[in-house]
Amino acid sequence: MKAAAIEAPQRYKRYLTWIFFVVLIVVCAIQTEVTPYQLIVGLPQMGTLLAEMVPPDWSYLPTIWKPMVETIQIALVGTMLGGILAIPFALLCAYNVMPNRAVSVPVRLILNLVRTVPDLLFAAIFVAIFGIGPFAGMLAIMFFSFGLIAKLTFEAIESIDPGPLEAMTAVGANKIQLIMFGVLPQAMPHYMSYLLYAFEVNVRAASVLGLVGAGGIGLLLDRSLGLFRYDRAAIIILLTLVIVLVIDYGSTILRRKLL
Q: Using the rule CB under 8 A, which residue among 168, 179, 211, 258 binds another protein?
A: 211
Burial of 146 (0-12, 13-18, 19+ CB in 10 A): buried
Q: Hey, is 15 helix, strand or coil? A: helix
Q: Which stretch binds another protein (CB under 8 A): 84-92, 94-102, 191-199, 241-249?
A: 241-249
Which residue in the set 68, 70, 107, 183 belongs to the binding site for another protein (CB under 8 A)?
Answer: 70
Give the span between the Cα atoms of 217 and 203, in whole angstroms.
11
Per rule CB under 8 A, count of chain residues that contact another protein: 59
C-alpha span between 153 and 254 (Å, rounded): 18
**Which amino acid, one-letter code, is at 94?**
A
In order of 95, 127, 156, 212, 256, the CA distances from 186 in angstroms are: 16, 39, 9, 40, 17
* Binding mask of the shown chain, residues 163 to 202, with x at each position contacting another protein by CB under 8 A: ----------------------------------------
117 part of the interface to another protein, by CB under 8 A: yes
- 86/92 Cα distance (integer angstroms): 10
215: left (phi over 0), alpha (psi -120 to 50) or beta: left
- 118 binding another protein? (CB under 8 A): yes
By the 8 A CB rule, do 221 and 233 touch?
yes
Output the CA torsion 31→32→33→38 (10° steps): -150
Minimum CB–partner distance for residue 210 and another protein (Å): 10
Using the contact rule CB under 8 A, the part of the chain among 34-42, 98-106, 174-182, 185-193 near another protein is: 34-42
- Side chain identity, residue 251: S
The CB-of-132 to another protein minimum distance in angstroms stands at 10
Give least dist CB 95 to another protein, A. Answer: 19
- List binders of another protein among 82-101 (CB under 8 A): none
Instruction: Answer yes or no whether residue 129 interacts with another protein by CB under 8 A.
Output: yes
**Residue 206 main-chain phi, psi, to 5 deg:** -65, -25
Among 16, 19, 23, 39, binds another protein (CB under 8 A): 39
Q: Which is nearer to another protein, 95 or 130 (CB)?
A: 130
The residues of the shown chain that bind another protein, judged by CB under 8 A, are: 21, 24-25, 28-29, 31-34, 38-39, 41-43, 45-46, 49, 69-70, 72-74, 76-77, 80, 112-113, 116-121, 124-125, 128-131, 133-135, 138, 204-205, 207-208, 211-212, 218, 221-222, 225, 237, 240-241, 244-245, 248
